[in-house]
Structure 1
Amino acid sequence: MNILVQGAGALGGYFGGRILEAGYDVSFFVREKRAASLTKEGLKITSPEGMFESKNVMVFTRLEEIKNIDLVILAVKGYHLDQVIPQIQAIVEQTDAFVLPLLNGVEHLEILQQAIGEEKVLGGFASIIATLNEQGHIVHSSGSSAIKFGALHNDQIEVCKQLEAMNQHVKTKILREEAILKHMWKKYIFITAFSGITSAMQLPAGFIANTEASFATAGNVIYEMSMLAEKEGIVLTEQEVEGMVNRLRGFSGEATSSMHQDMRKGLPIEVEHLHGGALRMAAKHGVTVPVIETLYGILKPYENGRP
């Protein structure tokens, strides 16, 4: 299977690098600046799951260069989705590839399905805490990483089998899930709480566990998001919801969210994609989510980087 990773930041670079490391055919479609960095520095991963470095990385910057692709792993930030839609449309038209988006949230599924067809968009998400250092190398700081994916259409069964077969060869987890929409929602619920509270506090995860008021705020986001999930037909048990709340206490003191890391660097953040998406869903169902709305108001000025 020939895989194209669109976006080679910390997320796309890490998982694309791990698949490349295992000997699979992987290329990257990136902007000129990132292409120059990868050409000069190569792809380098520092990780508890093992170090990896390659100076021989296939990089594309022009759509017409892309041919013979079976799967596109879409690994861009939510705020870049609108601008990459025409690119994804062109790639799928040229190659007939399937697309596995690793974006946070759930709104992007319908947007992509409308752009390229329901049969082409797999469900999926990534679990990792990683960032790029000043040299553009990937620094993975969480103890493990995973891609979880699943079919949303019968035409995707075969490509899912091929992806699933990679799991035993890569130094990460590539896990197939039958109820992928539920798993996506559980990620969306948790990251909306975790990224929201760490970014609003502008402090790492240790302060969630040590500050009852902050823990309660993050927990209330989980309760509000779980209510929205149920409105969307995703039913979670009480034990599943409480498990997510209790997980907020389980991080090491200095661990933090990708959104908080981006804020520290003065970069754009996914507040519109995550918290804004929740507000749009609440409006659709005629319900209120006051804690999410408050975090959204606090974080919105940082949407395009440090004000």
Structure 2
Amino acid sequence: MHIVVLGAGALGGYFGLRFQEAGAKVTFLVRQKRAEQLQKHGLAIRSPHGDVLREKINWETNPADVENPDVVLVSVKGYHLNGTLEQLHTLVNKGAYVLPVLNGIEHIHILQQEFGKEKIIGGLAFIIATLNNQGHVVHTGAFHELIFGPLCTEQEKVTSELESFSNKAVMKGERTANIMYELWKKYMFINAFSGITTAVQLPIGEIRKHKETFQIAIHLLQEMRELAGKYDVNLTDKDVTEAITKMEQFDAQATSSMHQDLRKGLPLELDHLHGGAIRLAKAQQLELIYTKIMYGIIKPFENRT
């Protein structure tokens, strides 16, 4: 199996290198600056699950030079998705399936409209990782999950092949028959956790000290559960309770990637995540009061670069 990783950021670098360890052919499709960094330093993982160093890896800067791709792993931020479409067209025309692991839901429909429903596999990832000055992946925390599954019957074979490599890889890979449920469950959690931490600009420990503030996060979870139901995905009381428990059990200094991006003055995935939820709700004539409030509070910080 030939897996193309679109970009070699922390998430793509981690899972791409783990797939290569497991015997898959992996090509990183990167910009010139990243290519020069890979040429000079190679790619490495520093992880509680074991370190990896590859001084030479396969990379390309032009999708036309990628031969016989089977799956393209797309892990860009939501606001960069449109910028990948031209490269993806080249790879899909060569026979590749697209496996996006973005947060949210809207991107699935966007990609299906662009490339056809049979070409877009459902996927999501759970990992905390960053790049150091050499462009190597620094993985912290115990989890490194990649969950994927077919969105139509034509994808059964390719997702089964992907499962065989993920089972051999140093990761928690899972092929599921109900990927939309998994996507919505994560979307529910991400919108609540990123919304509350970014809006008040505090880690979760400080938020937990104030029950009135933490309650807003719970309201966000409940709104997202209701929205999922409008799209025929049944998130349960247990799912909501598990999300609350996760926020209660996080380290006091834990915060969301959106809050981290705000601290760094980087663009935020606000429109992709909360804006997307508001648009999906509007299409179902549903009002998301707390989500709209989070959106309005965070909006001034969305693009400060």
Q: TM-score, normalised by structure 2?
A: 0.96
1:96 alignment partner AA? G
CA deviation vs aligned residue, 1:141-163 (integer Å, no higher than 9, x gap): 22111110001111111111111
Q: Summarize the Cα distance change of 1:264–1:47 in structure 2 as closer, same or farther, 3 Å threshold.
A: farther
- Give 2:64's aligned residue: 64
Percent identity, aligned pairs only? 47
Report how far residue 243 of structure 1 moved. 1.9
Q: TM-score, normalised by structure 1?
A: 0.95
Q: Summarize the Cα distance change of 1:76–1:195 in structure 2 as closer, same or farther, 3 Å threshold.
A: same
Q: Is the 8 A contact 1:163 1:174 kept in 2?
A: no
The reply on whether 1:252 has 2:239 as its aligned counterpart is no
Say which is worse superposed, 288-297 or 269-278, in terms of deviation.
288-297
- Give 2:177's aligned residue: 178
Q: Is the 8 A contact 2:19 2:166 kept in 1?
A: no
Q: Is the 8 A contact 1:14 1:45 kept in 2?
A: yes
- Give 2:115's aligned residue: 116
SS of corresponding position for 1:86:
helix
Q: What CA distance in whole angstroms lies between the structure 2 residues aligned with 1:101 and 1:291?
A: 28
SS of corresponding position for 2:235:
coil
Q: Is the 8 A contact 1:10 1:132 kept in 2?
A: yes
Q: Which runs of 5+ in 2 are unaligned?
A: none
Q: Summarize the Cα distance change of 1:57–1:211 in structure 2 as closer, same or farther, 3 Å threshold.
A: farther
Q: Summarize the Cα distance change of 1:21–1:210 in structure 2 as closer, same or farther, 3 Å threshold.
A: farther
- Give 1:135's aligned residue: 134
2:165 alignment partner AA? M
2:57 alignment partner AA? V
Q: Is the 8 A contact 2:22 2:166 kept in 1?
A: no
Q: What CA distance in whole angstroms lies between the structure 2 residues aligned with 1:213 and 1:140?
A: 33
SS of corresponding position for 2:282:
helix
Number of residues of Structure 1 aligned to a counterpart in Structure 2? 305
Q: Is the 8 A contact 1:269 1:305 kept in 2?
A: no
The reply on whether 1:84 has 2:81 as its aligned counterpart is no
Say which is worse superposed, 3-12 or 160-169, in terms of deviation.
160-169
Report how far residue 63 of structure 1 moved. 2.1
Q: What CA distance in whole angstroms lies between the structure 2 residues aligned with 1:298 and 1:133?
A: 32
SS of corresponding position for 2:69:
coil
Q: What CA distance in whole angstroms lies between the structure 2 residues aligned with 1:63 and 1:91?
A: 6
SS of corresponding position for 2:141:
coil
Q: What CA distance in whole angstroms lies between the structure 2 residues aligned with 1:41 and 1:101?
A: 27
Q: What CA distance in whole angstroms lies between the structure 2 residues aligned with 1:213 and 1:134?
A: 40
Report how far residue 133 of structure 1 moved. 2.7
1:24-63 pair list within 5 angstroms: 24-63=24-63
Q: What CA distance in whole angstroms lies between the structure 2 residues aligned with 1:222 and 1:86?
A: 35
- Give 1:11's aligned residue: 11
Say which is worse superposed, 82-91 or 134-143, in terms of deviation.
134-143
Report how far residue 61 of structure 1 moved. 0.8
Q: Which runs of 5+ in 1 are unaligned?
A: none
Q: What CA distance in whole angstroms lies between the structure 1 residues aligned with 2:208 and 2:39?
A: 42
1:177-256 pair list within 5 angstroms: 177-256=176-255
Report how far residue 248 of structure 1 moved. 1.3
- Give 2:2's aligned residue: 2
Q: What CA distance in whole angstroms lies between the structure 2 residues aligned with 1:276 and 1:208?
A: 23
Q: Is the 8 A contact 1:204 1:253 kept in 2?
A: yes
Q: What CA distance in whole angstroms lies between the structure 2 residues aligned with 1:276 and 1:198?
A: 17
1:42 alignment partner AA? G
Q: Summarize the Cα distance change of 1:305–1:166 in structure 2 as closer, same or farther, 3 Å threshold.
A: farther
Q: Is the 8 A contact 2:23 2:165 kept in 1?
A: no
Report how far residue 84 of structure 1 moved. 0.9
- Give 1:284's aligned residue: 283
- Give 2:105's aligned residue: 106
CA deviation vs aligned residue, 1:149-205 (integer Å, no higher than 9, x gap): 001111111111111112332111110011110010000110111111122222222
When the two chains are superposed, the root-mean-square deviation of aligned CA atoms in Å is 1.4
CA deviation vs aligned residue, 1:103-124 (integer Å, no higher than 9, x gap): 1111111111111111111111
SS of corresponding position for 1:198:
helix
